[in-house]
């Protein structure tokens, strides 16, 4: 079987972290880079020894140099780039958040089904072996019914990191970091019944800090925090009726779990499990994407289109609450 050929769209830090992981997936080859600037594309291609460098998307998509794209550009560009790629018959893995609105996310999902190509939001946490193990433990009933979830992620982002600070680039804590905690809560607790939000938002709409309390239809509660001005340990914790699971750092790609079972006053039974990082952590996601493409799937069951749209809708509700 011939290699599945990938193009990387964007030449920033995220693209640099993902190229080695893509290359490490059996049957995958990174053949191209696409940028808005030919010089940047040429430099990236030289750095990573890529055969093709494209300075504009139209020329790239009209070529037969690749079968799939990984989009690693700023958030507000995702919709246009993913739509153009799928219309050209290319499979798409796109950095989170997939789009800046639930309407756009739903439209892209419909387009993927119409064109018969894979569309996957690059929520690598959903493919993390540790997170898959969390869902397995919960599904087994070992910690009982999950009732409480806490998760957070934040740090003081320097001013030169423009994509966090500029509204036109989709800046703010929620869309860049809060999306992880929201996705974890969705994986574990299901349908949201109500939302309470407090936060700090600049006049331009860039949110600096958010504390979100979600109550779920099944009775569970999630407490989530994110910030671009304060350090918040990138961790998560799930409490059930029989025990708990502590997700080690990093929240988006945990390398450990601690499972605690028992009922006081008896001493707890503690079990630690380790999950060595594969590459930079993206490798399990890219492996799953390649398998889905070869199977002719348009979405992956571990992170389906419906979840992407649902989290987008939730972030929109949180933004409205913050602005109120």
- Residues spanned by CATH 3.40.50.720 within the chain? 4-122
Three-state helix/strand/coil letters over the chain = CCCEEEEEECCCHHHHHHHHHHHCCCCEEEEEEECCCHHHHHHHHHHHCCCEEECCHHHHHCCCCCCEEEECCCHHHHHHHHHHHHHCCCEEEECCCCCCCHHHHHHHHHHHHHHCCCEEECCHHHHCHHHHHHHHHHHHCCCCCEEEEEEEEECCCCCCCHHHHCHHHCCCHHHHHHHHHHHHHHHHHCCEEEEEEEEEECCCCCEEEEEEEEEECCCCEEEEEEECCCCEEEEEEEEECCEEEEECCCCCCCCEEEEEECCCCCCCEEEEEECCCCCCCCHHHHHHHHHHHHCCCCCECCECHHHHHHHHHHHHHHHHHHHC
Report, as an integer, the average pLDDT of 193-221: 95
Predicted TM-score (pTM) of the model is: 0.95
User: What is the architecture of the domain spanning 125-281?
Assistant: 2-Layer Sandwich (3.30)
Q: Using the predicted structure, report yes or no on whether residue 169 has a pLDDT greater than 90.
A: no
Question: Could you tell me where in the chain the CATH 3.30.360.10 domains are found?
Answer: 125-281
**CATH code for the part of the protein at 4-122:** 3.40.50.720
Does 27 have pLDDT greater than 90? yes
**pLDDT tens column, 104-115:** 999 999 999 999
């Amino acid at each position: 079987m011939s290699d599945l050929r990938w193009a990387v769209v964007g030449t920033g830090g995220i693209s640099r972290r993902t190229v080695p992981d893509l290359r490490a997936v059996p049957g995958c080859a990174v053949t191209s880079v696409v940028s808005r600037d030919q010089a940047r594309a040429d430099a990236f291609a030289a750095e990573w020894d890529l055969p093709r460098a494209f300075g504009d998307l139209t020329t790239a998509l009209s070529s037969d140099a690749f079968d799939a794209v990984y989009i690693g550009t700023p958030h507000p560009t995702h919709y246009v780039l993913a739509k153009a790629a799928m219309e050209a018959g290319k499979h798409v893995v796109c950095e989170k958040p997939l789009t800046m609105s639930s309407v756009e996310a739903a439209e892209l999902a419909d387009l993927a089904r119409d064109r018969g190509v894979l569309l996957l939001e690059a929520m690598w946490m959903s493919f993390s072996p540790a997170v898959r193990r969390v869902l397995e433990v919960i599904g087994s009933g070992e910690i009982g019914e999950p009732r409480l979830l806490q998760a957070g992620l934040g740090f003081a982002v320097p001013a030169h990191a423009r994509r966090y600070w500029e509204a036109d680039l989709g800046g703010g804590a929620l869309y860049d970091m809060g999306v992880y905690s929201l996705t974890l809560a969705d994986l574990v607790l299901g349908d949201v019944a109500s939302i309470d939000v407090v936060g700090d938002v600049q006049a331009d709409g860039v949110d600096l800090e958010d504390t979100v309390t979600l109550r779920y239809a099944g009775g569970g509660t999630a407490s989530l925090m994110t910030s671009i001005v304060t350090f918040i340990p990138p961790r998560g914790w799930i409490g059930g009726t029989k025990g708990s699971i502590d997700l080690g750092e990093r929240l988006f790609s945990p390398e450990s779990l601690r499972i605690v079972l028992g009922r006081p006053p008896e001493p707890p039974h503690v079990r630690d499990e380790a999950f060595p990082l594969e590459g930079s952590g993206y490798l399990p996601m890219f492996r799953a994407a390649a398998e889905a493409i070869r199977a002719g799937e348009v979405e992956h069951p571990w992170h389906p289109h419906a979840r992407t749209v649902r989290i987008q809708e939730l972030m929109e509700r949180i933004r409205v609450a913050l602005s109120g």
